[in-house]
Structure 1
Amino acid sequence: MSSWVAIDFETANEHRGSPCSVGMTAVDGHAVTDTWTTLIQPPTELGHFNPYNVRVHGITAGAVAAAPGWKATLAEILAFADGRPLVAHNAGFDFSVIRAACDAEGIPWPELQYTCSQVVARRTWQLLSYGLPHCMDAAGHIFTDHHQAEADSKASAEIMLAAMRESGTTTLDELLGKHQIRWGSMTADHQWRGSQYQGPGRDRLPVPGANPDADPEGPLYGLTVCLTGTLTSMERAEAFNRLAAVGAQPTKTMTKKTDVLVSAAQTQLKPGDTLSGKLKSAQALLDASQAIEVVDEDEFLRRLGA
């Protein structure tokens, strides 16, 4: 497929059904052809604005007072997409927003096919972090407007285009086929599946103390997650409990078994930043060919809820 659309949502609070902004970027062939964005008035019962989310994206309740609601916005999203497949960075988050907002408004899920630029980036580059700033750096772009929906959607598009150049492919089908990544989908009868890497790799089994009934396709399932710094969104004990609930193993100490380092003290880690002690340890492990990734608090929250 040579024509597709990248999408990004920002939410008013920790609930996935609280979209307050959306941005979309259309691609045809090898170039961005159009963009669109709007603020959104979240569903009424989910419409409170969490101070943490406001600090991340700068959108307030007052800013969306005259914005369209979810039902009208979804119609515009589908009109802009015009039947084309969608791409998002950490697609599990963005498409859970669509499902949860539809559920909150009592409207059917749309029929969508989608994939994830973060999953593609992991198969394309070996990076310390697969957040948008690091992936854009790997793609050869400077990125300064993180958490602005239109800019984030365009960044996701540019990452996919760069990955196509790296792999020598020209369509999404070719790119996903080369990297053994399946399409994600959503249907009106409440069926969905994520866009995941399907190739050989380490088995992701539930770890001791983790919830054995957690979703095995969850982004943190079966992983050892180290936390460093003080989270602003929750106490450390709650973070440990939520990690166990999604099938992960929380730890305070970096080891060779660590898969993900959540760096709360250094949010929105950017290329060229001075690294803390644990981040330096993570970089050393990555340089030694260990698969380890650093995420900031916002990315951590997205993965917990994806």
Structure 2
Amino acid sequence: MSWFKSNFRSNDKISITVEEVNPQTENEFRFFNFVEREQVFFLEKWFEQSKRLGHQFKPQYSDAIVQKIRTGTFSNPHSFPEYFNSEFDFIAIDFETANNNRVSACALGLAFVKNDTFVHEEKHFILPPPGEKILSSHERLHGIQEEDLEFALDFKELWDLEFSKYFNNNLIVFHNSSMDLSVLKRLFSHYKIENYSIDYIDTMRLAEISGKPKKLTELANLFEVPIIKHHDPKEDAKACATIFTELKELVPNYRDLIQILNPNLIAEKQFSRAGRLKIQNDNLDIISEYSISKKELEDLQIEGSAFLFTGELTEDREDCKDFIMGYGGLIKSTITSKVDYVVVGAEYGWSKIQKIHLLNSERNLRIRLLSNADFLRLKERYEKLNF
């Protein structure tokens, strides 16, 4: 994933912005954000250099740049996250706490990735619960002081305003979930928040599987990922996002390691053998209930439909995804209301099946399940049509 690292390989401001922004990109939010934030001097130099190099600009992009150069101001007409429908490839996050109590979260950094590109970063100060003061040892670590939190909202307020639409609709990436995940759980418990269902993965676990060092800073050095200020939550979230793009290339079945945090789901490891057998039987019942019918399979149109794969298939998963995308279908990495079909292979993720049941039953959705054999029949039908 060289895109991420290429942004940081030059100290020359103009070179960096030329690498970052494509004047023909379809992502208007990103381009207009670039124009809004860039200083006029650098923007004008970049614009002139790009034109000399023969780069073609979309008319609305040229107009935005000219307005900024002439007036000194430009406002992005698009809002975040509405421009992206709150849907991203994944969101990497990092918490910082005021003290050793996990409920004392005082800041959260988020790095949003869409189509393998950073599209947005945020840093939120969080007002900890009463009595949770910032220790001097923690202040020295992350630099957050009590005055930084003077006008901050507490986690419950931020969850209701923004965080819920981020966390519930996207894959969340942690580095060292034993820290950040436990912070999240403590906050949910403290504020009695129950409207969450979060798919998450831990880059530390991926590093362990791939034989790489587990510390964030060591991984950053390994993959040449700069961390301008370690323990700044936004910087650490961005580093985590970049490291994740590297590690998932080394662990092709990383999706099987995605877990779900949901108040209605209990971790499988908490069950006895009898309990696990019951879950397996329940999942078989769910698969039977939501399996695609022969008629539905015959009528299934790939174009515009969203697919997710779980478990081991008899064909290479990447080839299966390419087949779907080749006929206009979409590929999803997490179970959300945007998924239409789930292809279920051997050793499938049990929690994914339960989440499908929750979505279908609670939101009256019709997510349908295809077996490996169903998928092969679908593929055969399309290949015959185009023979």
The one of 124, 138, 146 equivalent to 2:230 is: 146
**Aligned residue runs from structure 1 range 170-181, under 5 A:** 174-177=253-256
The one of 145, 152, 163 equivalent to 1:60 is: 145
Equivalent residue number for residue 27 of structure 1: 113
Question: What is the CA–CA distance in structure 2 between the aligned matches of 1:8 and 1:158, rounded to whole Å?
Answer: 13
Give the residue type in structure 2 aligned to 1:40: I
Unpaired runs of 5+ in structure 1?
195-306
Question: What is the CA–CA distance in structure 1 between the aligned matches of 2:128 and 2:244, rounded to whole Å?
Answer: 29
Equivalent residue number for residue 285 of structure 1: none
Equivalent residue number for residue 183 of structure 1: 258
**Aligned residue runs from structure 1 range 1-306, under 5 A:** 3-45=89-131, 47-75=132-160, 76-81=162-167, 83-108=169-194, 110-127=196-213, 130-167=214-251, 169=252, 174-177=253-256, 182-189=257-264, 191-192=266-267
Give the residue type in structure 2 aligned to 1:51: S
Encode CA deviations 1:55-100: one digit per residue, 9 max, x unaligned. 1111122210110111112232222346011001001211111111
Go from structure 1 to structure 2 and tell me whether the alpha carbon gap of 1:82 and 1:111 turns closer, same or farther (over 3 Å shift): closer
TM-score, structure 2 normalization:
0.44
Encode CA deviations 1:250-300: one digit per residue, 9 max, x unaligned. xxxxxxxxxxxxxxxxxxxxxxxxxxxxxxxxxxxxxxxxxxxxxxxxxxx
SS state of the match for residue 153, structure 2? coil
TM-score, structure 1 normalization:
0.54
Question: What is the CA–CA distance in structure 1 between the aligned matches of 2:119 and 2:268, rounded to whole Å?
Answer: 29
Question: What is the CA–CA distance in structure 2 between the aligned matches of 1:15 and 1:156, rounded to whole Å?
Answer: 23
Give the share of equivalent positions with the same residue, in percent. Answer: 22
Measured after TM superposition, the shift of residue 126 of structure 1 is 3.4
Question: What is the CA–CA distance in structure 2 between the aligned matches of 1:185 and 1:62, rounded to whole Å?
Answer: 36
Give the residue type in structure 2 aligned to 1:185: I
Give the residue type in structure 1 aligned to 2:233: A
Contact map agreement 2:109 2:237 (CA 8 A) in 1: yes
Question: What is the CA–CA distance in structure 2 between the aligned matches of 1:69 and 1:150, rounded to whole Å?
Answer: 18
Question: What is the CA–CA distance in structure 2 between the aligned matches of 1:24 and 1:149, rounded to whole Å?
Answer: 8
Count of matched residue pairs: 182
Contact map agreement 1:7 1:87 (CA 8 A) in 2: yes
Question: What is the CA–CA distance in structure 1 between the aligned matches of 2:94 and 2:195, rounded to whole Å?
Answer: 17
Measured after TM superposition, the shift of residue 31 of structure 1 is 2.1
SS state of the match for residue 196, structure 2? coil
Measured after TM superposition, the shift of residue 34 of structure 1 is 1.6
Q: Which has the higher contact order (CA 8 A, sep 6+)?
A: 1
